[in-house]
């Protein structure tokens, strides 16, 4: 079974089995049989080896009817004859969602027998699988259906990452929005366009010898200008009429061209009932017997579909058991155009039938598409409500749920409580704005109105409300909890677990909430168990759209455990998957990932990198997770302090405190105040320290927070840091020792070894001041145990001179187990922890990425889209790069960066 990788490169058993029951086989095989089509060897050669010769990706770009699919079918046979495995994907509108596109590529791999099971794959995962599968070709047909910013980004990533053993063929009516010029210059991609795909005179003569057909056909072929579909239609017409007397001459018409031809030569020749059946089918992109029956209500659907097979290749069999067909897109466009000319069922009614059919089959994307096409807001709303309403955020993901809601006007949502709650949960999970909090309060008030009284008796609706309320209690906002609501959490868990087998989505959301509460103020061991429960549920219930949250959960658990490398790995993985999926909104998840990365870099003493990472988080949002907000305000200020910018650190904290007061953010007020007081203490301003202690009544807050496992660990840690250091400074060693020791014990009990290490540093300092050097050495070894494996430098860099001397003493001892780690710490201390080196010689990762974009010749716009940042941010980085390299333009920057070894 293919699995994603662990930090050590091994496969990680992280399997989210997708629900394959709705995957239609027709997506993973050619729509058109090429058996009767003219084999054009010149096009096969062009697609395989036209310049640039090094290209492994080929784009077939031409309008409808140019034989792209036929060429792909011939390429498939040619490659298979050479021993290559060919993976085929036909794109539909659903592939505009990059998550769906990646999922369907995974399905295609599984259809070809390359996967045993399905999980949520990113581009890198898929490329790993392809590279392990021997000679292979990936064919993506009708990509124009999938074209979107997100899917285009996925496609470009695939082209760039394609293994050497693989080829990629993409057929599309339009050029995808990718860095095409650069890809061609790099030798990564070739293009076969409409000019090359046209039939030559010789090819047309092979298909339809002019000497054997009436002169009218010669005119038709001349007017076709080598357009393959026209030539094929002419051939079909000739074969149909060649035995009739007299032959019916083809007429192209001047207004609609091929539409006139299709109408005169095909549609008008059908029996009226078959014609009407075909016209009604035109609303469907792919047709099987059940869907045709549901839409057309034809008395003998199977017979009617078989009757249409004589129109091949315009009508193509895509599956025989059970029978499924596809109308050529151009032919389907023509039928839709002709629909108004015949007195049959209205398009509105047909789309409504299709919507209900797909809704019953749990194909929500198609159901919403047809309901929207029908123009019925009520039907769209009804389908969304019946599909679960707010619960769609769990199995479909908040991004896709947002797209469903976008098909309705805001008024249609707010007038339906179930849809209104659906939008509130989507906004809460996405976390891009705090507006939903006020809206939620207003929503709860409207539920008390007489017309909504029936909802009060709906236990499921009440549970959904409680789940949304739980989200509001988690984020740092006015509604956040003060004391952990463990009884309420347990009650939600009990109620949702009771519904697990009937409706597992309640349980999924309740587990997410419980996990985050546990991370915030509970036990990491219990959080680990809830994370495993969540992974198991997502696998069994196919909630893969939200699987990135589980990866995100792993990052924060590993951060507080002190496993910094794993925390960084999972955060980067989460960001990469969000970026690969084309999600550009700065959601709560993205902010959280950047905050975790910033914390990792800070603990590793990579202070400049930490600050740049925190800079990627939008500042002062009145709705964010506490870790996010504490990171970009408090941890960033600590980094500035260490780097010598005391005034900048205090200014940022004061601004953050004003913000927390303005928006009534209780925990952030305490954390910031404690951090400000600690900084004043560290610079010797005791009066300033005591002023902030009194101003925010921090002594009382400390006492309240010593109700362990009941208050936020971040808030408690900030208060313990302040007072343990304050009492140490006041030479109240017993009081300082007892507070730090108790906090260390409780932190260890909760699994938070990293914050425990900070407290142990104070414990060690107190013991040294009291003359208990042997006991201090025991504590120091415990600190080394907690920090050595993952290079968590910061706790040890806060030591006093006495602590450093004890460390030097241990370095001289024979047989010391942490000798190399102690040497690293002492080297860092001796170099001066505030001396991070000149920034000009330490280009940031983001600046290196921008430089790489310059090296590739990308414009500012392309760099911004590739890195998922704004144009202004790119320009800002460029100014910094020019200043650091002392250059004035892009070319000079690239040359100087190469000279200095920044670019290799």
Contact 611, 636 (CB under 8 A): yes
Write down the pLDDT at residue 549: 78
Average pLDDT (340-359) is: 89
455 exposure class (CB count in 10 Å sphere: 0-12, 13-18, 19+): middle
Torsion sign (Cα): 784, 786, 787, 792: negative
Write down the pLDDT at residue 11: 34
Most confident segment among 211-225, 230-244, 288-302, 863-877: 288-302
pLDDT in tens, 698-715: 999 999 998 889 899 999
pLDDT band with cut points at 50, 70 and 90 for residue 233: confident
Calculate what percentage of the chain has a pLDDT beyond 90: 41
Q: What is the mean pLDDT of the chain?
A: 85
Look up the pTM and report it: 0.69
pLDDT in tens, 825-875: 998 888 764 333 333 335 677 888 888 889 888 888 888 888 888 888 888
pLDDT in tens, 634-689: 999 999 999 888 889 999 999 999 999 999 999 999 999 999 999 999 888 899 99
pLDDT at 410 over 80: yes
pLDDT band with cut points at 50, 70 and 90 for residue 8: very low
pLDDT in tens, 246-282: 444 444 333 335 676 667 667 877 888 888 999 999 9
SS3 831: helix
pLDDT at 112 over 90: no
Q: In what order do the strands lie in the sheet with 287-288?
A: 287-288, 323-327, 315-320
Contact 328, 285 (CB under 8 A): no
pLDDT at 548 over 80: no
270 exposure class (CB count in 10 Å sphere: 0-12, 13-18, 19+): middle
pLDDT band with cut points at 50, 70 and 90 for residue 628: very high
pLDDT band with cut points at 50, 70 and 90 for residue 725: very high
pLDDT in tens, 65-101: 788 999 999 999 999 999 999 999 999 888 998 888 9
Write down the pLDDT at residue 120: 66
Nearest to 238 by CA among 212, 203, 270: 212
pLDDT at 241 over 70: no
Pairing, β 57-61 against β 189-193: parallel
pLDDT band with cut points at 50, 70 and 90 for residue 13: very low
Contact 204, 231 (CB under 8 A): yes
pLDDT band with cut points at 50, 70 and 90 for residue 319: confident
pLDDT at 17 over 50: no
Higher pLDDT among residues 250 and 483, named by residue? 483
pLDDT at 534 over 50: yes
Write down the pLDDT at residue 650: 94
Quick one: three-class SS letters along 45-99?
HHHHHCCCCCCCEEEEECCCCCCHHHHHHHHHHHHHHCCCEEEEEECCHHHHCHH
Higher pLDDT among residues 6 and 392, named by residue? 392
């Amino acid at each position: 079974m293919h699995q994603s990788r662990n930090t050590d490169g091994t496969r990680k058993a992280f399997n989210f089995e997708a629900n394959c029951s709705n995957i239609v086989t027709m997506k993973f095989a050619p729509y058109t049989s090429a058996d009767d089509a003219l084999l054009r060897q010149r096009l096969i050669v062009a697609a395989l080896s036209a310049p640039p010769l090094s290209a492994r990706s080929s784009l077939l770009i031409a309008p409808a009817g140019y034989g792209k699919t036929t060429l792909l079918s011939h390429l498939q046979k040619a490659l298979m004859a050479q021993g290559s495995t060919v993976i085929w994907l036909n794109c539909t509108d659903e592939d505009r969602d990059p998550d769906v596109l990646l999922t369907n590529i995974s399905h295609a791999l599984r259809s070809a027998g390359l996967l045993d099971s399905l999980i949520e794959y990113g581009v890198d995962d898929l490329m790993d699988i392809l590279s392990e599968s021997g000679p292979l070709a990936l064919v993506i047909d009708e990509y124009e259906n999938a074209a979107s910013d997100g899917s285009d980004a996925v496609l470009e990533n695939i082209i760039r990452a394609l293994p050497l053993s693989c080829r990629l063929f993409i057929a599309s009516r339009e050029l995808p929005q990718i860095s095409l010029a650069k890809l061609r210059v790099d030798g990564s991609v070739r293009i076969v366009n409409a000019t090359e795909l046209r039939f030559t005179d010789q090819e047309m003569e092979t298909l339809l010898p002019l000497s054997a057909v009436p002169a009218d056909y010669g005119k038709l072929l001349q007017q076709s200008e080598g357009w393959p579909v026209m030539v094929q239609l002419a051939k079909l017409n000739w074969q149909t009429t060649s035995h009739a007397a007299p032959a019916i001459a083809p007429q192209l018409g001047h207004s609609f061209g091929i539409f006139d031809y299709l109408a005169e030569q095909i549609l008008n020749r059908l029996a009226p009932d078959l014609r009407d059946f075909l016209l009604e089918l035109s609303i469907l992109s792919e047709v099987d017997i059940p869907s045709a029956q549901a839409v057309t209500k034809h008395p003998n659907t199977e017979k009617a579909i078989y009757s249409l097979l004589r129109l091949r290749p315009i009508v193509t069999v895509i599956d025989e058991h059970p029978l499924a067909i596809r109308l050529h897109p151009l032919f389907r466009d023509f039928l839709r155009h002709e629909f108004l000319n015949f007195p049959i069922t209205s398009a509105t009614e047909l789309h409504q039938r299709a919507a209900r059919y797909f809704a019953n089959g749990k194909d929500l994307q198609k159901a919403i598409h047809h309901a929207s096409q029908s123009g019925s807001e009520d039907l769209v709303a009804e389908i969304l409500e019946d599909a679960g309403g707010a619960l769609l955020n769990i199995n479909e993901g908040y991004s896709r749920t947002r797209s469903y809601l976008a098909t309705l006007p805001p008024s249609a949502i707010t007038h339906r409580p179930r849809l209104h709650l659906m939008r509130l949960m989507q906004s809460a999970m996405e976390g891009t704005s705090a507006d939903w909090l006020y809206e939620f309060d207003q929503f709860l008030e409207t539920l008390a109105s007489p017309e909504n009284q029936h909802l009060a008796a709906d236990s499921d609706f009440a549970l959904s409300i409680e789940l949304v309320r739980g989200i509001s209690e988690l984020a740092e906002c006015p509604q956040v909890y003060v004391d952990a609501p463990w009884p309420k959490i347990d009650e939600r868990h009990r109620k949702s677990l009771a519904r697990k087998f009937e409706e597992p989505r309640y349980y999924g959301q309740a587990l997410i909430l419980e996990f985050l509460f546990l991370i915030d103020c509970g036990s990491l061991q219990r959080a680990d168990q809830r994370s495993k429960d969540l992974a198991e549920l997502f696998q069994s219930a196919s909630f893969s759209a939200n699987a990135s949250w589980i990866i995100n959960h792993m990052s924060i658990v590993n951060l507080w455990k002190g496993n910094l490398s794993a925390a960084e790995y999972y955060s980067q993985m989460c960001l990469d998957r969000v970026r690969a999926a084309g999600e550009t909104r700065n959601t709560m998840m993205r902010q959280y990932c950047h905050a975790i990365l910033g914390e990792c870099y800070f603990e590793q003493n990579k202070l400049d990198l930490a600050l740049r990472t925190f800079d990627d988080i939008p500042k002062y949002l009145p709705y964010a997770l506490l870790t996010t907000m504490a990171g970009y305000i408090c941890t960033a200020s600590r980094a500035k302090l260490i780097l010598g910018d005391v005034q900048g650190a205090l200014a940022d904290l004061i601004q953050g405190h004003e913000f927390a007061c303005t928006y009534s953010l209780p925990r952030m007020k305490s954390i910031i105040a404690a951090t400000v007081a600690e900084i004043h203490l560290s610079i010797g301003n005791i009066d300033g320290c005591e002023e902030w202690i009194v101003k925010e009544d921090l002594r009382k807050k400390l006492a309240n927070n010593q109700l362990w496992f009941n208050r936020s660990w971040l808030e408690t840690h900030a208060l313990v840091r302040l007072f343990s250091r304050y009492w140490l400074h006041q030479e109240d060693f017993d009081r300082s020792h007892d507070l730090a020791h108790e906090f260390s014990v409780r932190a260890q009990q909760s699994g938070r070894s990293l914050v425990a290490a900070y407290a142990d540093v104070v414990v060690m300092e107190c013991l040294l001041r009291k003359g208990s050097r042997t006991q201090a050495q025991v504590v120091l070894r415990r600190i080394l145990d907690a920090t050595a494996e993952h290079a968590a430098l910061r706790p040890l860099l806060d030591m006093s001179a006495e602590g450093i001397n004890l460390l030097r003493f241990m370095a001289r001892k024979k047989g010391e187990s942490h000798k190399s780690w102690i040497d690293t710490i002492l080297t860092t201390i001796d170099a001066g922890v505030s001396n991070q080196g000149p920034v000009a010689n330490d280009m940031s990762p983001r600046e290196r990425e921008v430089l790489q974009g310059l090296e590739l010749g990308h414009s500012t716009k392309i760099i911004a889209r590739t890195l998922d940042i704004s144009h202004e941010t790119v320009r800002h980085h460029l100014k910094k790069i020019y200043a650091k390299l002392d250059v004035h333009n892009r070319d000079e920057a690239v040359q100087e960066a190469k000279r200095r070894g920044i670019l290799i």
